[in-house]
Structure 1
Amino acid sequence: MSSLPDWLIAIIGVVFPGLGDPNIIEYNGYVEGDYVYVAPAAVGRIVSIQVAEGEAVSAGQNLFQSDDTHQSAMLRAAQAEVDVARANLENLATGGREAEINVVVASLDQAKADQHLAQATLERSQRLLAAGAVSQARVDGDLASLQSANARVAQLQAQLSVAELPARNAQRIAAEATLEAALARLDDARSALDDRTVEAPVGGRVDMVFYEQGEVALAGAPVVSILPSDSLKALFYIPEADRTQMSLGDIFDVSCSGCPTEVTARLTRLAATPQYTPPIIYSSEERSRLVFRAEAALDNAGGLLPGQPLSLRPRE
């Protein structure tokens, strides 16, 4: 039985929660928020900021825009590379152009005409040789002309066959690889351009805006911080004597000045090592000064603000 009068215990309980009744276990702590810091992927000058401090935002909502002049130019260049690579591949797949083939066909027709003329000339010379009207040298010369015409026809026929065929497999593979590389650069350029517009990764409330329009933000430097609506937690310290009685998932009733009714907290983190206040003396007298940091997720925490003092009482 307590040696203090009931009225004094009541007053102490109001002024110092948890100290009025020695049978009540209560821990003092405060509200803390897990902020999300939104930063650009690359350095750039901020051209517009679409949100203000204290404003509610939704996931996917535009937060700020960085200058994208360079990224837009790189995207256009990458698209041009893709167009060139695709046209080259299509050209190799269909063989030579029609105009080029027509030139070879015309040359082949001329060569065949020369071939026919050389054949007729040789036959006439052979008849004249039999009649003794021409020399053997004349016949030999006409034979050489025919052989040359035959070779020319064969050459142009082979050239026409090559022009009408698609490219060799190795050339086609190289052209396909070139197109794939160009497409990859296009994707990279498009991604770099998209990164210039930064969206909210989560919904919540804008806590701070660290830059002004026109300032240069470094890569990874936060421009906006967001406090998600479900990120509030209670941070408090548990004495060593109570540490072994706590388990993750334990429920606490939460009270504070102006707190909403029925606020609870669920223990989500409990430090494995203690914290203490100097002097560091590991004696039985000093062990009571050792405390363990604990965190508990808050439920029904509407209206609570980071830094607000809390009292947490373990639920039986």
Structure 2
Amino acid sequence: MESSLKRIFIPLGLFVIFLLSGCRNDDNQVTQGYIEGDFIYISAQTTSRIEQVLVNRGQQVSTGQTLVILDNNTEKKQYEIANKNMSSEIATLNDLTKGSRHTELNITAAQIAQAESDAKLSQSKLRRYQQLKTKGYVSDFELEQAQTDNHLKQERVRELTSQLASQKLPSRADKIDAQREKAAASQLQLEQSQITLNKLQLKSASAAEVYDVMYHPGEVVSPGTPILSLLPNSAVKIRFFVPAEQLPRYRLEQKINVKVEGIKQSISARIRFISPKAEYTPPVIYTSAQKKRMVFMIEAVPLKPQPALKLGLPVEVSL
């Protein structure tokens, strides 16, 4: 009798449990998912040899922090050459916009003083010869020589005076403009050299965790080959899949509750992406009998930063 009662009550109990589970509110339905992240890959723009790797796996880095230094010996030399060229062009421009140096002006002034002295002597000699000519002591030839000498001495004074005035003036405007263009071009070359040099120091674009280091000092990397992978603090997301019949319950910007393995408190998150394309769980051949195997991927991001979230952790998502 007791054995027959057991055979009756055990199936009855299972049936009651099935009914209770079937009557569960759909709004509290839990969907399984996991923690994922959007990585940033740090790579060189040209084929380069790695000089230094300044960070380690798991290390937190800040915005603008230098992560990797590539071989830059050639670029440093080019920068130094460009810097010297620019300094030379600017010095030439400054020299053109000023008059001659003080020493050159002093030399010309001394030459003028000497020429004026010679001119005074020649003029005095000419007057004396003119007086002697009236008395017949000087020939016409000697008088002509004195006149010519006095004329040359006076012209020499005027020449040196004009030269001194010219030395005090800057160069011609067109020559200064041409040199100014050269100076501007040399500055652009210096800036370009600086940009090229900066590209050989790979920096972090945001606060992040160094997730992996793929290459090390001494190795040569090709353009675009990842050297490091970073996981920004704001790039952690929750990924989960829902069947097609449940998809209308989810919408963009909708808030969801996320229960993470190992974390007591639930996390609030916001749906950021709903896949427009269905995916199939095995078997991949679609039949009406396998309709429930068609799912859509949904991604959500935490409303607040959650440092405790680690990639791969399983989660339970509910509305």
TM-score range, shorter chain: 0.7 to 0.9
Show structure 2 runs of 5+ residues with no match: 1-13
Q: Which amino acid aligns with 1:274?
A: K
Q: Which amino acid aligns with 1:61?
A: Q
1:191-243 residue CA offsets vs partner (Å, 9 max, x unmatched): 43344333332223211111111012334432111112231112234444444
Aligned partner of 1:274 in structure 2 is 277
Q: Which amino acid aligns with 1:145?
A: D
Q: SS where residue 57 of structure 2 aligns?
A: coil
Q: SS where residue 99 of structure 2 aligns?
A: coil
- Asked if 1:157 is matched to 2:157, the reply is no
**Higher helix proportion, which one?**
2
- Counterpart of 1:54 (choices 55, 58, 61) is 58
Separation in 1, partners of 2:56, 2:64? 16
Select between 206-215 and 237-246 the one with higher mean Cα deviation. Answer: 237-246
Aligned partner of 1:140 in structure 2 is 144
Q: Runs (4+) of structure 1 moved beyond 6 Å?
A: 284-289
Separation in 1, partners of 2:19, 2:102? 104
- Asked if 1:118 is matched to 2:128, the reply is no
How high is the sequence identity, in percent, across the aligned residues?
Answer: 26
CA separation of 1:167 and 1:141: change in aligned 2, threshold 3 A: same
Q: Which amino acid aligns with 1:7?
A: I
Q: SS where residue 186 of structure 1 aligns?
A: helix
- Asked if 1:199 is matched to 2:209, the reply is no
Aligned partner of 1:7 in structure 2 is 17
CA separation of 1:110 and 1:256: change in aligned 2, threshold 3 A: closer
Separation in 2, partners of 1:150, 1:302? 93
CA contact (8 A) 2:50 2:218 kept: yes
CA separation of 1:34 and 1:137: change in aligned 2, threshold 3 A: same
Shift of 1:152: 1.9
- Asked if 1:236 is matched to 2:226, the reply is no
Q: Which amino acid aligns with 1:57?
A: V
- Counterpart of 2:182 (choices 178, 181, 192) is 178
Aligned partner of 1:87 in structure 2 is 91
Aligned partner of 2:259 in structure 1 is 255
Shift of 1:112: 2.0
Separation in 2, partners of 1:260, 1:200? 33
Q: Which amino acid aligns with 1:306?
A: L
CA contact (8 A) 1:39 1:224 kept: yes
Aligned partner of 2:315 in structure 1 is 310
CA separation of 1:106 and 1:302: change in aligned 2, threshold 3 A: closer
CA contact (8 A) 2:92 2:179 kept: yes
CA contact (8 A) 1:112 1:153 kept: yes
Over the aligned positions, Cα root-mean-square deviation in angstroms equals 3.4
CA contact (8 A) 2:37 2:311 kept: yes
Q: SS where residue 226 of structure 2 aligns?
A: coil
Q: Which amino acid aligns with 2:317?
A: L
Q: Which amino acid aligns with 1:182?
A: S
Aligned partner of 1:16 in structure 2 is none
Q: Which amino acid aligns with 2:309?
A: L
Separation in 2, partners of 1:75, 1:35? 33
TM-score normalised according to structure 1 size: 0.79
Q: SS where residue 223 of structure 1 aligns?
A: strand
Q: Which amino acid aligns with 1:313?
A: S
Separation in 2, partners of 1:39, 1:51? 14
1:40-91 residue CA offsets vs partner (Å, 9 max, x unmatched): 3544211221222223333343322222222322232233223323332333
